[in-house]
Amino acid sequence: MNGYKIEPGANLSDAYLAGAKLSGANLRRANLSGADLSAANLSRGPDLSATNLRDAYLRGAYLRGANLTDADLSGANFLGASLKGANLKGANLSGATMPDGRIHN
């Protein structure tokens, strides 16, 4: 995906984006439900606010400093992901697998 522009609100449900370089991307309000973002690089504070990441696979993804405010992260898999400095205010983490392997209530 490096070099491609993704419009805010884009529908990328079930997309295969494993290993994609999306650092600094604006994915605000995008639909990434069920998408495979394993090992994707979403560093440099990407805007994922109000994004639908329900049941997304983010295992090993790099989300350092990501804005996940009000995002739907229910059922997402963050095992081994880096969420350091990520803003999760208002995010729905119900049933999400956290980086350490525990399931969020």
Give residue 29's domain range: 1-105
Query: Measured between alpha carbons, how far is 51 from 44 in angstroms, rounded to an integer?
Result: 17
| pLDDT for residue 69 | 97
CATH number for the domain spanning 26: value is 2.160.20.80
Tokens of 4: 């491609």
Query: Measured between alpha carbons, how far is 79 from 44 in angstroms, rounded to an integer?
Result: 20
Instruction: Please say whether the dihedral angle defined by the alpha carbons of residues 84, 79, 17 and 28, taken in this order, is positive or negative.
Output: negative
pLDDT band, residue 3 (cuts 50/70/90): very low
- Would you say residue 87 has pLDDT above 60? yes
| pLDDT for residue 23 | 82
Cβ proximity of 46 and 28 under 8 Å: no
Query: What percent of the chain is predicted at pLDDT more than 90?
Result: 76
Number of domains in the chain: 1
pTM of the entire structure? 0.89
The DSSP secondary-structure symbol of 62 reads: B
